[in-house]
Each structure stands twice: as C-alpha cells, then as structure tokens.
Amino acid sequence: MIVDSAPAFDVRDYLRLEMMPHFLCPGCGHGIALRALLWAIHELGIDKDKLAVVSGIGCAGRLSAYIDANTFHVTHGRPLAYATGLALARPDLHVVVITGDGDCLAIGGNHLIHACRRNLKLTCLMLNNEVYGMTGGQVSPTTSESRLTTTTPLGNSEPNFDACALAAAAGASFVGREVTHHVPKLKELIRAGLEHPGFAFVEVLSDCTEIFGRKNELGSSAEMVLRQKSELRPSAYRDTVDTPFRSNDLPTGILTKTERPEYGMAYRKAAAAQRANTAARASAGVNERKA
Amino acid sequence: MSRPTASTSSIEGEPLRPTASAAKAREPMNVLIVGVGGQGVIMVSKALASLAQSKGYQVKQSEVHGMAKRGGTVFSHVRFGPQVWSPTIPKGEADILVALEWAEGLRWLPFLKAETGIFICDTKRIVPPFACLNRRPGAPLRYSRETPAEVRAHVAEGYAIDATRMAEELGNERAANVVLIGALSTALEFSAADWEQALAQFVPKKTIAVNLDAFRLGRNWIEEERTAVDDAEAPLAHIPAPAAAPYNVRLEITPAWCKSCDICVKLCPERCLRLNQERIVELAQPEKCTGCRLCELLCPDFAIRVHLDAVAKEVAAMPGAKA
C-alpha cells in the first residue's frame, strides 16, 4: 500500500493543462519520470515561482513545456550551460535540468563534465532511453551493444556509456540512478538530489516503446516496464543470452554522495571579497587624494 | 527395527521398558514449545533442556529452525525423564504446551494431553501474510477469532498471558519468551534458582537483569492467576490497527489523455482495469480495486487519478470492516 503524501499530490496542479495531452508516444517512460520529478517537488514544497526547469532538445527536452513553472527550452546539448548561468545569477531558484541521453552525453557531453566538475547547485535529470527518439531512432551514446536502431541496422557495435560512472568521475557530488518502474523510489532519489547542496546527477532509465522497443522487438510498453524489474536481478542472471539491453546487475539508488564546496557559494564569496577589496582600494584612493 | 523388549527381571536391574504399573513414573515429561520465528522458541527449549540435563535427566529435543526464521512457524519438542526413546512428542501426549503466539498455540492444541495438559499461551497476535489475502484496506483478517475463555474451556488447564505487553513494560519486548518461561517454571519441579541460573547462560549478557525480572514476573503472574477465584478475562493483546482507515476507492480517468499504452491494465496487481472499445482505460471490476495507486504512478499520460474517499462512520463500524 502506498498511502503517504500521494493523496495530497495531484500532478495536474503542476502541469500546463492547456498543453495536455503531451506529445510523447504511448507508453513512453518520460511521463512517469516527469510525475516523479513533480511529486518530489511537491513533497519538498518548492514554490512554482521558485522552480526553474531548463531542458534541451529531444523527447526529454520537451518535458519542460508541460511543467507549470519557469521553464527554458534551450539549444541542443546546452541546458546545463544555460542552467549554470541561471543558477549563478539567481541562487534563490531551484534549477532543474531535464535532458536526454543524446542531449546530455553526446551533444552536451562537454557541458556535463564541466558542470560536474564545478559542483554548482543544480539537479540534472538525465532520461536515458538509449535512443534519439524524436529524430527517428538514431543510435545514441547509451545504446547497448547489438541493439538495432535506424543508423545501426545490423546492431550497434560501439560500447555504450555508463553515464553515472562518467558523472562521478567528472566530480559530481551526487550521482544516482533509478528505473521508471519504481516510481516511489525514483521520487525519493530525485528528492534527495533536489535537497543535495551541490551538483546532483540523476539518471533515469526510461523506455522508448515506439521506436527503440518496436525496432528491437521488446514487446508492449507494459512488457518493457516489467523487463526493467527483471533486469535488476543479481549477477547470477547476467549471462542470459538474449538480454543485451542492460546489464542485469544494474546498480540503482544513490551511487555517489560526497561533500564538496558548492561552486555558487564559493563564487559569491570570492566576488564579495573582490568587491570589498575594490571598495577599500577606491576609498583609500579618495583619502589619499584628499590628503 | 526391533523394539526394546520388556524385561521385569530384578536381576537385570532396572527394566529396560516400563511395565504398566511403573509406566507413570518413568514416562518422560513432554513440553512442546511453539511460536513464530524470531520470538525465541529455540532459546526457551534450550534453557529447559539444559536445565533438565543438569538435573540428571535424559533429554531429547527436536526442533525446526532455519527456514522458519523471522516469521515462519517454529516448534520445539523437549522431552526429559529417566529414559526417553524418541525426540518427538506424539499427538495428544504433550504435558505442557507453551505458545509464544496466539494462533500458533491454537494450531498445536491437538498435541496437548486431553485430561491433564497445561496450555500456556501469550496472547500476542502476529498475523501471517496468508491471513490477509484480501488486500482491500479494512478487509477482515482470517486470523483465529477464539477468545482465551473459549480456549480455556477446551483444555484442562489454560493460561493466556499478555507476556509481550508485560515484557514491554519491563523495557524489552524481546523478553516475552522469558515471561513464558517464568510461567512454565511453575508447572515443573525445578527450583526458581536453578531456572535463573540456566536462563543467565542463554540470554545475552547485557540483558540478564531484564530477563530475570521477566522470569519472576511470569512466575508471579501464574501464581496469582491460580489463586484468583474469579475467571477474570485476560484481555487480548492489542492488534495494530490497519495502517489506513477503511475507504472507498474511486478512479478518476481523463479519457482525452489516455493513449491506450496498456501499462496500467497489465501491471494492475488485481487485474481490475481494461481498455474499452475505444481503447481507453476503464475500471472493469471496481470491487477488486484496492487503491494501491500503481496505475496512477505508472501512467505516463497522467490519465488516472486514484481517490481514496473516507468511508462514512457507520459503515466503518460494521462488523467485518475491521478485524
């Protein structure tokens, strides 16, 4: 039984109802991830005026359009760059970045590693569906080996990215991963990320049913959601031949959580010191001239 | 295997097998201890067995453990006497049945001697999963409904102790089994000092004091209960109320948002949803819906909202709504 804060939470309070129904395909996991994000925001009691959602291009990037808050739909791969500026200028805002696997790791890969390195207070929600869905199903950096996409008709031959390992290696102070099947756990993870005083990277394993699932014959959307669960089995099941989709012993939950100085705070401190220094020098100059 | 032959020859010393007349004195004492995994059934039987052994009796003990850990049914047979042949107690042969949980006590009642058996039972109720198969909130549990008075009418000597509450008041709920040892000790011939010595060996060192208190509490309780003239009803242990008050489930479906992806229909644990002719989700069997919210949580299109409406008070008070 899930009888907690859920009854009080109505996702429609946080949606732009005039935009609904959203444009995502039937069974797309991004809708579930969006609900988890809004649920976490509701639980934390974040005011909609104090929430800024920045998103890039792609199916995931489109999600910001449905959130009834301050939203930016920006250029491909650059939501983290925009969000960095926003978070530095407006530290009072909760800045959330919604990005896809291609947006975040391919086009915006450079922005990701530098955002991780800086440790600015941001929450980056990467919705990983292993494919460029919006543009017709091209191979993405997270597509598993041997998977079929429109650009890999004989199966993907490249190894894929472990986005969480990448973010942790680049210095993100909070890294977590969850699947869309476990909505309450996903909500808890996003909530922990929102509460984290630093850069929080959350990878959500989402399902692309219409393009990736259909091409790879992964079954109906319900079957894809259920498969997420079966693929979270321990490593004993790792060698199952026909499931190259994801490694079976996929770690989920909070993977990395470290204490590091937050960039915005350090930057403002340095700026204030600089200003004080300049003011002191200016006033000293005035005094000298007077004397 | 041949059974040991009866011998009454005095030259051979003690008869190998008791004759009918001597049988009474030579029969082993049968104590059956039952409970739920994690309550300390094995610890009780170990303490009793070691005490009996230290007094020079032959002791045989047989138990189930391992798989029954943490919530399964656990039993332990302890037999001691001048000569014990088998480690298990036959049905209807237990002199004393000590139960650490109410329903487990009832389950093992047929093992008790009909005329002389002593039944000592904690009124603690641990509801097993299969007693709540109906997952609808407020649904009646299929847990035993017998009251202590009804049970006592069926046994020669019965005690229903709220040992868990007594142990809780002492500060450690886990000492409930020792309260029952205290109660058991009055039915056996060993002295209280011997019991306390045996107990001190088997409980963690830090908890010896609370366990000895629990032992004395159980012992005194039984003695008071014996002297009490009136058949005062032992109150049944408090059962934690269901986490949520009874409520009705109502599904609010936004048909314009549903994209017929089928996730809710396939993943509903009660299978109570379906797609209608227009491939829009609908609640096909409202009576089966428990309001678990899985459909609401997993709907990518926000088309379902589960409302849990509080049930009107007079309905909630009806029998069956709450067990």
pLDDT in tens, B188-232: 888 889 999 899 888 888 889 999 999 999 998 888 887 775 555
Between strands B247-253 and A174-179, the pairing is: unpaired
pLDDT above 90 (res A110): yes
Cα A7 to Cα A43, B89, B294: the distances in Å are: 12, 54, 13
Residue A7 pLDDT class (50, 70, 90 cuts):
low
Q: Which residue has the tokens 């389950």?
A: B107
Note if the pTM is more than 0.90: no
CB A86 within 8 A of CB A93: yes
Q: Which of the 8 DSSP states describes residue A16? A: -
Chain A: residue whose CA lies nearest to B290: A1
- At the top level of CATH, the class of A6-260 is alpha beta
CB B311 within 8 A of CB B321: yes
Residues in A closer than 8 angstroms to B266, CB to CB, are 220, 222-223, 226
pLDDT above 70 (res B23): no
Highest mean pLDDT among A3-12, A194-203, A232-241, B24-33: A194-203
Residue A1 pLDDT class (50, 70, 90 cuts):
very low
pLDDT tens per residue across span A150-162: 999 998 888 888 8
pLDDT tens per residue across span B105-164: 888 999 999 888 899 999 888 887 777 666 666 677 778 877 888 888 888 888 888 888
What pLDDT does residue A276 have?
A: 93
Q: Could you tell me the residue ranges of all domains in chain A? A: 6-260, 261-291
Long-range CB contacts (within 8 A, 24+) of B53-62: B53/B80, B54/B194, B54/B198, B55/B190, B55/B194, B57/B81, B57/B82, B58/B28, B58/B82, B58/B83, B58/B84, B59/B84, B60/B28, B60/B84, B60/B86, B60/B87, B61/B87, B62/B87, B62/B88
Residues in B closer than 8 angstroms to A29, CB to CB, are 300
pLDDT above 70 (res B321): no
What pLDDT does residue B20 have?
A: 43
pLDDT tens per residue across span A72-96: 999 999 999 999 999 999 999 999 9
**Nearest residue, CB atoms, A31 vs list B243, B291, B300:** B300
What pLDDT does residue A243 have?
A: 46
Q: What is the residue-averaged pLDDT of chain B?
A: 80
Distance CA(A197)–CA(A87), nearest Å, equals: 12
What pLDDT does residue B15 have?
A: 42
Distance CA(A248)–CA(A250), nearest Å, equals: 5
pLDDT tens per residue across span B232-262: 554 444 444 445 556 778 889 998 899 888 8
The residue type found at A101 is D
Type and span of the H or E element at A38: helix A29-44
Residues in B closer than 8 angstroms to A180, CB to CB, are 298
Question: What percentage of chain B reaches a pLDDT higher than 90?
Answer: 25
Both structure tokens of B231:
């058949």
**B8-17, B23-32, B122-131, B227-236, range with the lowest pLDDT:** B8-17
pLDDT above 70 (res B102): yes
What pLDDT does residue B247 have?
A: 74
What pLDDT does residue B60 have?
A: 93
pLDDT tens per residue across span A257-286: 999 899 998 999 999 999 999 999 988 887
The mean pLDDT value for B271-280 works out to 89
Q: Which string of DSSP letters, residue by residue, matches B81-118?
A: ES----SSPPTT-BSEEEESSHHHHHHTGGGB-TTT-E
The mean pLDDT value for A192-219 works out to 90
What pLDDT does residue B292 have?
A: 85
The Cα angle at residue A185 between residues A184 and A188, in degrees rounded to 5: 90
What pLDDT does residue B68 have?
A: 63
The mean pLDDT value for A200-205 works out to 93
Residue A173 pLDDT class (50, 70, 90 cuts):
very high
pLDDT above 90 (res B32): yes
What residues of chain A have any CB closer than 8 angstroms to a CB in chain B?
A: 1-3, 6-7, 10-12, 15, 20-22, 24-32, 35, 180-181, 183-184, 209, 220-223, 225-226
Distance CA(B94)–CA(B14), nearest Å, equals: 25
- A-B CB pairs within 8 A amount to 83
Residues in B closer than 8 angstroms to A28, CB to CB, are 300
Residue A246 pLDDT class (50, 70, 90 cuts):
very low
Cross-chain residue pair B262–A7, CB shorter than 8 Å: no
Quote the minimal CA–CA distance from A183 to chain B in Å: 6
Distance CA(B187)–CA(B170), nearest Å, equals: 23
pLDDT tens per residue across span B70-91: 678 889 999 999 989 899 999 9
B 120-159 residues inside an 8 A Cβ radius of A: 135, 137
The mean pLDDT value for B274-301 works out to 88
CB atoms inside a 10 Å sphere around CB A265: 15
- Domains of chain B are 26-227 (3.40.920.10), 247-316 (3.30.70.20)
CA A146 to chain centre: 26
Highest mean pLDDT among A170-174, A287-291, B20-24: A170-174
What pLDDT does residue B18 have?
A: 40
ipTM, two decimals: 0.83
**Higher-pLDDT residue of B128, A119:** A119
**Nearest residue, CB atoms, B262 vs list A29, A31, A221:** A221
Q: What is the residue-averaged pLDDT of chain A?
A: 86
Closest C-alpha among B89, B126, B125 to residue B110: B89
The backbone region for A58, taken as left when phi is positive above 0, alpha when psi lies in -120 to 50, beta otherwise, is left
**Higher-pLDDT residue of B312, B290:** B290
**Higher-pLDDT residue of B243, A42:** A42
Question: What percentage of chain A reaches a pLDDT higher than 70?
Answer: 89
pLDDT above 50 (res A178): yes
